[in-house]
Amino acid sequence: MGGTDGPPADTARLTFAEMTPDDLDDMAALLGDAEVMRYYPRPKTRAEALHWIGWNQGLYTRAGFGLWVIRSRATGEFLGDCGLTPQEVDGTTEVEVGYHVRSGAQGLGYATEAAAACLAHARETLGIDRIVAIIDPANVPSQRVAEKIGLRFERNTTYGDGQPVRIYGPGR
Per-residue model confidence (pLDDT) at position 172? 60
The string of DSSP codes covering the chain is --S---SPPP-SSEEEEE--GGGHHHHHHHHT-TTTTTTSSSPPPHHHHHHHHHHHHHHHHHTS--EEEEEETTT--EEEEEEEEEEEETTEEEEEEEEEE-GGGTTSSHHHHHHHHHHHHHHHTS----EEEEE-TT-HHHHHHHHHTTEEEEEEEEETTTEEEEEEEE--
In the CATH scheme, what is the homologous superfamily, with its name and number, of domain 14-130?
A: Gcn5-related N-acetyltransferase (GNAT) (3.40.630.30)
For the chain, which residues make up each domain, given as ranges? 14-130
- Angle among Cα 61, 6, 67 to the nearest 5 degrees reads 70
Name which of 89, 98, 85, 86 is nearest 151 in CA terms: 98
Q: pLDDT digit string (tens) for 55-83? A: 999 999 999 999 999 999 999 999 999 99
Is the confidence at residue 1, as pLDDT, over 60? Answer: no
Q: Tens digits of per-residue pLDDT, 79-128?
A: 999 999 999 999 999 999 999 999 999 999 999 999 999 999 999 999 99
